[in-house]
Amino acid sequence: MVRQLIDTFGRVHRDLRISVTDRCNFRCTYCMPADGLEWLPREDLLTFEEIERVARLMVERHGVDSIRLTGGEPTVRANLPTLVGMLADLPVDLSLTTNGMTLRLVAGKLAAAGLKRINVSLDSLRADRFEELTRRNELPRVLDGIDAAIEAGLYPVKVNVVVMRGVNDDELVDLARFGRERGVEVRFIEFMPLDADRSWSEGAVVGQDEIVARIGEVFPLEPVDRTSAPATRYRYVDGAGGIGVVASVTRSFCDSCDRIRLTADGQFRNCLFAVEEFDLRSLLRSGASDDEVGDLLQGAVAAKWAGHGIASVDFVRPNRSMSQIGG
């Protein structure tokens, strides 16, 4: 019998984000410091077998129907297609988020292993700005990676853009045009307080209404009915695809959130902004039964807050950055 993961507010959790590594080959300014990070020791990472066990339990016993692999940068985890193949045997929508730097080398292998769709981070189309944001001069490789994902048959291919006022918000229309021309959906993400150097401010946030208005002036948009997905979607009136906006700050979607997270070191999180984690790795390695693991998951989900409260005066930031939690 399926025991759904339901919190005290009646939200049913079916979307699992699994971070496979905290390491990354970029150093994006809104995510990681330029240097000084200490990576997790190899023995602290969940093994592929441990990840597969947790995923299978969540799917077969708790009704999870969507799994997204994240990092850090997931493609730096050795033998990633092997893990994809293990998870592809489960009846889920299997996807991955990547910075795209090495995607051209692995897109075909990931697709052959059973990956269905992919999101690629791309915060600027200008080489100098891209290098400033990522601290790496790799824009051509990322663009090649997007093309490789399309050629490999991954569908849909989506592009994630973190929008920051005074940094890259002058590229909204250019990025929308890029999506229209490439046939990919661009998802514009409001800047969230998960940066490692804690420089986030509300003034740096470009909200959903402004994003849609500025793009709509050039490419008219109309809304699409809202689902439990994090992005509010809009389609172009002329039929040339659409965009999504993840408005975590200005239009919190906490009341319909169905996402849960597993960090690379095996900590279970019931919210991206949670300040409490549940040690699943120790439980797995202690010889716990499936029922015991399920009890931990049920209790952790039951403890989920009503919302993250980013806009409130008493908001408390998580003690880990995005790269350590998993995007």
**DSSP assignments along 30-96, one per residue:** TT--SS---PPPGGGSPPHHHHHHHHHHHHHHH---EEEEESS-GGGSTTHHHHHHHHHTSSSEEEE
134, 26 in Cβ contact below 8 A?
yes
193 SS3 class? coil
> Does the pLDDT value for residue 315 go beyond 70?
no
Sign of the torsion formed by the C-alpha atoms of 26, 31, 36 and 37: negative
Closest CA to 187 of 117, 139, 91: 117
Q: What is the pLDDT of residue 37?
A: 78
Residue count (the chain): 327
Q: What is the CATH number of the domain that holds 304?
A: 3.20.20.70
First to last CA, the chain: 31
Cβ atoms 71, 326 nearer than 8 A = yes
Total number of domains in the chain? 1
Crossing angle of helices 48-62/290-302, nearest 10°?
70
Q: What is the pLDDT of residue 313?
A: 54
In the chain, % of residues over pLDDT 70: 96
How would residue 289 be classed by pLDDT, with cut points 50, 70 and 90? very high
pLDDT tier, 261 (very low <50, low <70, confident <90, very high otherwise): very high
Q: How far is CA 161 from CA 55, 230, 241, 274, in A?
A: 28, 14, 17, 23
DSSP secondary structure letter of residue 219: S
The helix/strand/coil state of 230 is coil
Mean pLDDT taken over the chain: 93
- In eight-state DSSP terms, residue 205 is B
Identify the CA nearest to 222 among candidates 240, 207, 206: 240
* Sheet of 232-236, strands arranged across: 221-223, 232-236, 242-246, 185-190, 157-163, 117-121, 93-98, 66-70, 15-19, 259-262, 267-269, 278-279
Q: What pLDDT, on a 0 to 100 scale, did the predictor assign at position 248?
A: 86
How many Cα atoms sit within 13 Å of 236 on the Cβ side?
A: 20
Q: What is the pLDDT of residue 229?
A: 78
pLDDT beyond 70 at 326: yes
* 69: pLDDT strictly greater than 70: yes
pLDDT grade, residue 195 (50/70/90)? low
Contact 59, 91 (CB under 8 A): yes
Cis peptide before 220 (omega within 30 of 0): no
* Domain span including residue 255: 5-325
